[in-house]
Amino acid sequence: MKKILFICPRNPFSERYSGDVIRAKKTIYFLSKNHYVKVISSDFKNSQKKESKLSYEGFKEINLFSKIFYIFFSFIKLRPIQLGYFFSPKIKEYVQNNFQNYDLIFFQSFRTAQYMPKDNTKTYILDMGDLMSKNYKQTSVRYFFFNPIRIIYYIESLLVKRYESFCFKKFTKILLHSKVEMDSVEKKFKRKLAQFSFGVTNINKKYSFHQKNYKIIFVGNIKYAPNKKACYEFANKILPLINKIYPNIEFHIIGEISKIDKFLLKKKINVKIQGKVKNLEPYLDKTICGIANLKIATGIQTKLLTYMSYGIPSVCSQEVIKNFDVIRESKLSFYKNNEEMIKIILKYKRNKSFSLNASRRALKTIKKFKWEKVLPVIGKVLSSH
């Protein structure tokens, strides 16, 4: 039995409906079956948790002025700005004083890599997830040329890429979602990589075709810039065209959202904001399809896995589909332009055979993403170190 120190940027037991939180929690409980796991993260409530092979300690977040200082300090050191935003001196102190007591240190997200001790005798595993430098570079070009946000995202993409290179050099093993992104990593680091996909807990068929179905759903964290831009684009450009044909079709947005975006999007015709929910099932009745219309996409879009786990037909952008090896094989519907997207949605609305076939393929494919099939990758990584 190994003693593992597991470091998260956010409290993995917060019940927050976010991919990184869900993934961390699943990994922690899987590891604690055969090992002792001490979990630490920033936590507003400074909470604690203790089980037989698992304990959690949350360190109170620093105040806004301290965050600004650490952001500036990170920037002048040519490190990603977000490292400063997520930095916790208490976590750094804990790691430096206690890392020798653990056999292995597991870092969830590159935002926690900054706590890595200089001692190179330990095993350090980083669950990087996606190559965020690509994501930020894609995001920057989606803004107007003179927009300050474009400049910030572009600078951050360069800083993150530099930091990703540091991580590839220093860590014992690095986990990535997508095989496509693994193939883009320098050849000399290939031996350090392992593919660790996102998973689903349950598969419940909730979709049924009916010509009176009227919901198009989008599931995700709307505070995340690519998701936010995708929602606004659909509400502003796509939905009005669909409503010219079917005036009753609604766009339902499900996920964490800022007050200002909630206010602005709710003002648009046939846009419904459901916000953060603990259980999706009550919101899935009368659904035509789920969408993943992101133009900024790296790694695996977990919203697609969510739709598939309920058997809901889905449509995604060309940018999203290219990172899904298995899902491409399932003939998931994707589009190259807005006209193609509208045609697919209308076909889901009208064509029973097309919709039910998409639902069946989704339910078949998603079985490969059950957590009990995904998590053993972690066991193999640990057994080799």
**pLDDT tens sequence across 220-233:** 889 888 899 999 99
pLDDT digit string, tens, across residues 250-287: 999 999 899 999 999 999 999 999 988 888 899 999 99
DSSP secondary structure string for all residues of 239-269: HHHHHHH-TT-EEEEES---HHHHHHHHTST
pLDDT at position 326, please?
A: 55
CA distance 86 to 83: 5
Q: Which domains does the chain have, with CATH numbers?
A: 3-199+371-383 (3.40.50.2000), 215-369 (3.40.50.2000)
To the nearest whole number, what is the mean pLDDT of the chain? 89
Lowest mean pLDDT segment, chosen from 86-95, 101-110, 160-169, 317-326: 317-326
CA distance 322 to 328: 8
Give the DSSP letter of residue 237.
I
Q: Of 352 and 327, which is predicted with more confidence?
A: 352
pLDDT digit string, tens, across residues 296-342: 666 667 888 999 999 999 998 888 887 776 555 556 788 889 999 99
CA 205 to chain centroid, in Å, comes to 23
Which residue in this structure is represented by tokens 């669909």?
Answer: 242
pLDDT at position 131, please?
A: 83
Indicate whether this model's pTM tops 0.75. Answer: yes
CA distance 279 to 258: 20
Give the DSSP letter of residue 93.
H
pLDDT digit string, tens, across residues 29-50: 999 999 999 999 998 666 777 7
